[in-house]
Structure 1
Amino acid sequence: MLSVFTSRNVLLPGKDEPLPATIEVDNSTGKIVSVRSTYSSRSEYPSIADDHWVDVGEHCILPGLIDAHVHLNEPGRTEWEGFSTGTRAALSGGVTSVIDMPLNSIPPTTTLENLEIKRAAATGHCYTHVGFWGGIIPGNEKHLNPLLRAGVKGFKCFLIESGVEEFPCVDEEDVVKAIREIDSKTVLLFHAEFEDNPTAPSQSDSILDRSLYSTFLNSRPQSLEVSAVSLIISLLERFPSSRAHVVHLSAADALSEIRTAKSKGLHLTVETCFHYLCLDSASIPNGHPEFKCCPPIRDRSNCDKLWGALLDGTIDCVVSDHSPCIAALKRVETDGDFMSAWGGISTLGLGLCLLWTEGRARGVNIGQIVRWMSERTALHAGLHGSKGAIREGLDADLVVFDLEKKFIVSANELKFKNKITPYEGQHLLGSVRQCFLRGRLAYDADRPGGLQGLEPQGLFL
C-alpha cells in the first residue's frame, strides 16, 4: 500500500528552490518509491485511502532535518533535558533525526556498557530517530571498537576541559592512541579549543566584573580555536587516512588554515551553530548568561565571515549544539555571573526558522539551508544512504514547512524541558506544520502541543 505526498513546492535534491512534485511512499518499508515532478490531484490516485493522501498545496515539503550535535543528557542529568522532551522539541522544528553527544549524561558514552544504559533509557521515548556519538577520554581506547561495532557514529573528544568531571579532556597522545585503535574506520570529532600555553599569566578574577559579557568573551579568545585547529590538522597530516570534524566552530580566524587543509585533500569537515550565525556579541546584555556558550558568540564581523565560509563550502554544515541545564545553573535570576554559569544554549525547535530568517535577509535560499541542515549532516553522521534528501530509495522523513508565516519566540511555546533561551522575544520567519517519520505522521502543529494522539515512533540509527 502507498501513501502519497504532493505539493506545488517540494525541495528536490540539488535544487535551490522548491518545485511541484509528488512523492510515493511504500507504507510497509517507509521508503520513497517514486518522485514525480508534478503536482497531483486526488483523482489521479483513486485507490489511495484518504488517510494516506497528503496534499499540502502551497506549503513546502522538505527532507527531514538532521541535527548532528545535541545533548539530551539522559540518564543522569535528565532534569536538564531527556529523550522525550528533547526529541519532541526537535520534531517541532522539523528535525526528524538527532545524534546525541556522549556527554553530559551520566554515565557518558565511553564504553559499550554505558551505551546500553543510555539506549535503555531512550527506548520508547524518542519522537525523532536517534543516533549516538561515542566519546574519547584518557585511557578508554580499548572501548572504541566495541562501541563502533554497536553502532555509534563516531567519537567526540575535548582538547580543553569539558566542564563535567566524568568526561575529561585528552592530550595529543590520547588522540594518537585512539586513531591507531580505530584505524580510520570512522570520524573523530573535536571540541576545538586548546590552550597551548596554559601557564601564561592571566588577569586576577578579583578585578574583573563577572557579569560583563566581555569578561567571558575575553577569557575564550579566538587563539584557543586556532591552536586547536592547527593541532587537528597536524594529526591529519601525520595520519592522512583519518577523518576529523571540528564541532561548533566560532572563530573566523581559523578559517584560513581550514581552507588550506581542505585544499590539500585532508579529510577535514567543519560545523558551526545557529547562535554563531544569528547572534553577535554587541547585542548580548550584561548579566544574561543565557547567551553563554563555549566557544563564545563573537562580533558581527566574525559572524559575517562564518556566513561567507558556509557559502563557499569551508564550513560544511550547521547544527544546534543544544546544551541545556536547569535554570539555577544559568544564574539568570541571581547574579548573572557569566564565568560561573553553565555554558550552553538551548535551541531545539528553533534552528530552521532561525537560519531561514537570517539567511533570507542575506539572500540565502531554502535549498542551501536544507543542504547545511540535512544533506551534509546526513553525510557527516553516515546516514546519507537513508536520509538527507527526497529521493527514491531513501526514508520518507518529511517536513511540511510554511515559508512565510511569522512568529515571536515565546518561552511558553518552547518544547524543551528548561525553557531558557537567548532567542526569546525574537521575530522569526517560517513555521513547521507537520513532520512524518518513514511516511507516518509524527507531528502536527494543529494538534494541542503538536503531538496529541501521536506516539513516539523514532528508531535508533
Structure 2
Amino acid sequence: MSLVVRARRVLLPEGERAAAVHSEDGRITAVTAFDDAPAAVTLADDEVLLPGLVDSHVHVNEPGRTEWEGFASATRAAVAGGVTTIVDMPLNSIPATTTLDALHVKRAAAKGQVSVDVAFWGGAVPGNVDQLRPLHEAGVVGFKCFLLDSGVPEFPPLDDEGLRAALAELAAFDGLLIAHAEDADVIAAAPAPRGPSYAGFLASRPGAAEESAIGRLVAAVADTGARAHVVHLADADALPVLRRARAQGVRITVETCPHYLTFAAEDVPDGATAFKCCPPIREVWHREALWAALADGDVDLVVSDHSPCTPELKRLDDGDFGAAWGGIASLQVALPVVWTGARARGIGLDRVVRWMAEAPARLAGLPTKGAIAVGRDADLVAFAPEDRWTVGELQHRHPVTPYAHRELHGVVRRTWLRGRPADGTPIGRLLRRGGMPE
C-alpha cells in the first residue's frame, strides 16, 4: 500500500513547511516539495499535517475491569483524538501485568480489537523482581510502580527496600522504571477527605507528598544508576528537586497531564467528582508553573493518564470526593485541550507535537513513532488548529469527563495509521519495545 499526503503546513522535526509525505508499506519513504506530488491527498488550507500522537499513559483496564473501558473503546477514542499509539498501564486490569503469564493474558485480550498500535508497560510490585527481566525480554517498554497504595489490591506499592531492589535489577539491563510518586506517610498525616468539599480533598493529598516521594526516588536512582520517570506531576514545588538531580546527571524524566495544565483547584466545584484524580489538580500557580517548566524543558512530555471508571464509582450521585474513584477520562480530547492552552499562551503547535508525540515515543522506546521522517511509520493526522468545537459525545466507554461542554480549539479531521485510513476499525498492531510488532 502506498500513500502520499501533502499540505501547506507539515510539522517536521526540522520545522514547519509545505511538503508532500510519501509512504510505502506503512513507512515514510520520502518528504518532498509540495508540488512534487500533484496526485497526492491534499489537506485543506486550514489543516496542518502532524505525526500521530503517542500516549504513553493509558489505563485500558481490560481484562478484568473491561466495564471501566476496554481496548476497543479506548483505541477508537485514540483515533478520534489523533493518537495513533498508546502504551497500556499494567494496573486496573486483572491480572495486573506483573508476570510473564499476565502479559500473555493482556496481549490475548487486546488482539484483534485495537484501532491503533498498542505497546505495554509491565509492573514492579513487591516480590516480582525475578519477573522484570523476563518481561523486559518479552517486549514491555518499562515498569510502573507505586510508592503508596495504588487503589487496587492486586498492585501493591514498593517500599524503599523494594524500590531499590527493582531499580538495581533494572539497571543491570538498562530497563526503565516509571513511578507514581506520592508519599504514603505524608498523606496519612493529612486530614482524610470526606464529602463534597474539593478543598478538603486537596488538603488530603498535599504537595509535600509529591516532593517527599520524588526526593526518595531521585536518591534511589542516583545510588543505583538506573533510569526512572515521574508520572503525572501536579506539584510545581517538586521541580527544583528534579532540576538539580538532572543537572547532576541523574537519569530521571518527568511528565505532566492535560488536566494539570487546564484546570485549577480554585475553579473545581464542590461535589464535581469528575475532576478527582491523584495527585489532585492544584492551585492556579502550579498550573502556570508547569506550563513554564514545559517551555523551559524541565518537564519532558504531556500524556493523558486516561483513567476512567464506571459512573457509579465516580459517585456522581452524592459527589463524595473521599469515596469517588480518582481518575480522569481524556484520551480523545488531550490534543485539543493542550493546544487550546498552548495557543492562549503563545506557544506553537510544534512544541505541543514535541511534548505529545516525539517525547513519549522516545520515553517508551518506540523509534518508529512520533515524527514525520523517512523510516518512521506513516502515522499522520490532519488537524485544523483554528477550528473550534464543544466537547460532547466521546468514544470512551463512559461519558464522564471534566471537559464536558468545554469549548476547545483544534479538530482532528482525519488520521492515518501506518499509511492506512484509521476510522475506528481494528487495524492496530501490538508492539514490543523497539517498535516491532508481535
Please give the TM-score of this superposition, normalised by the length of structure 2: 0.96
Question: What whole-Å deviation, never above 9, does each CA across 1:212-254 have from its counterpart, x for those lacking one?
Answer: 00110000000000001100110122012x1000000000010
Q: Is contact 1:195–1:227 with CA below 8 Å preserved after alignment?
A: no
Could you tell me which runs of 5 or more consecutive residues in structure 1 were left unpaired when the two chains were aligned: 46-52, 444-450
CA deviation string 1:119-162 (max 9, x = no partner): 00100000010000000110011111111111100000000100
Deviations along 1:33-76, one digit per CA (max 9) or x if unpaired, are 1001434452xx5xxxxxxx411132111000000000000000
Displacement after TM superposition at 1:179 (Å): 2.1
Q: Distance in 2 between matches of 1:424 and 1:71?
A: 20
Partner deviation per Cα, 1:364-400 (whole Å, 9 max, x = no partner): 10000000000000100001x2111100111101111
Match of 1:211 in 2: 196
Q: List gaps (5 residues or longer) in structure 2.
A: 432-438
Between the aligned partners of 1:430 and 1:233, the Cα distance in structure 2 is: 37
Please give the alpha-carbon distance, in whole angstroms, between the structure 2 residues aligned to 1:340 and 1:329: 8
**Contact kept in structure 2, 1:162 and 1:169, CA below 8 Å:** yes
Indicate how the Cα distance of structure 1 residues 209 and 158 shifts in structure 2: closer, same or farther if over 3 A, else same: closer
Q: 1:189 aligns with which of 178, 183, 208?
A: 178
| Pairing partner for 1:257 from 241, 261, 271 | 241
Q: Which residue of 1 aligns with 2:92?
A: 104
- Number of residue pairs aligned between Structure 1 and Structure 2: 429
- Alignment of 1:459 with 2:409, yes or no, is no
Q: Classify the secondary structure of the residue corresponding to 1:356.
A: helix
Retained in 2: the 8 A contact 1:8–1:39? no
Identity %: 49
**Which of 349, 369, 374 is residue 392 of structure 1 equivalent to?**
374
Give 1:181 deviation, angstroms: 2.3
Check if 1:34 corresponds to 2:30.
yes
Alignment of 1:346-357 (within 5 A): 346-357=329-340
Superposed CA offset, 1:190-220 (max 9, x none): 00101345764x54x6xx7521001100000
| Secondary structure of 2:12 counterpart | coil
Asked if the contact 1:91/1:435 (under 8 Å) is kept, the reply is: yes
- The answer to whether the 8 A contact 2:54-2:85 is kept is yes
Contact 2:187 2:205 in 1 (8 A): no
- Superposed CA deviations along residues 303-341 of structure 1, whole A, max 9, x for unmatched, are 000001100011000000000000000011x21100110
Q: What is the one-letter code of the residue matched to 1:32?
A: I
Equivalent residue number for residue 92 of structure 1: 80
TM-aligned CA deviation for residue 14 of structure 1: 3.2
How far is 1:404 from its partner?
A: 1.3
Partner of 1:345: 328
Aligned to 2:11: 11
Look at both structures and tell me which one has the larger radius of gyration over its CA atoms.
1
2:142 pairs with 1:157: no
Distance 1:408 1:199 in 2: 40
Give the Cα separation in 1 of the matches to 2:269 and 2:215: 33
Q: Partners of 1:107 and 1:37 in 2: how far apart? A: 50
Larger mean Cα displacement after TM superposition, 176-185 or 111-120: 176-185
Alignment of 1:60-75 (within 5 A): 60-75=48-63
Show CA shifts across 1:18-44 (max 9, x none): 320001101x3x1111001434452xx
Query: After the TM superposition, which residues 53-452 of structure 1 pair with which residues of structure 2 at under 5 Å, given as runs?
Result: 53-58=40-45, 59-182=47-170, 183-196=172-185, 200=189, 202-203=190-191, 210-240=195-225, 242-332=226-316, 334-383=317-366, 385-410=367-392, 413-443=393-423, 451=424
Q: 1:433 to 1:209 in 2, by over 3 A?
A: same
Partners of 1:196 and 1:227 within 8 A in 2: no
Aligned residue for 2:75, secondary structure, equals: helix
Q: Which is further off, 174-183 or 335-344? A: 174-183
Aligned Cα root-mean-square deviation (Å): 1.3
Deviations 1:96-115, CA, capped at 9 Å, x for gaps? 00000001100000001001
Code of the residue aligned with 1:428 in structure 2: it is L
Q: Is the 8 Å Cα contact of residues 212 and 286 (structure 1) preserved in structure 2?
A: yes
Q: Distance in 1 between matches of 2:405 and 2:186?
A: 41
> Partners in 1 of 2:152 and 2:35 — Cα distance?
52
SS at match of 1:392: coil
The letter of the residue matching 2:383 is F
The answer on whether the counterparts of 1:184 and 1:243 sit within 8 Å (CA) in structure 2 is no
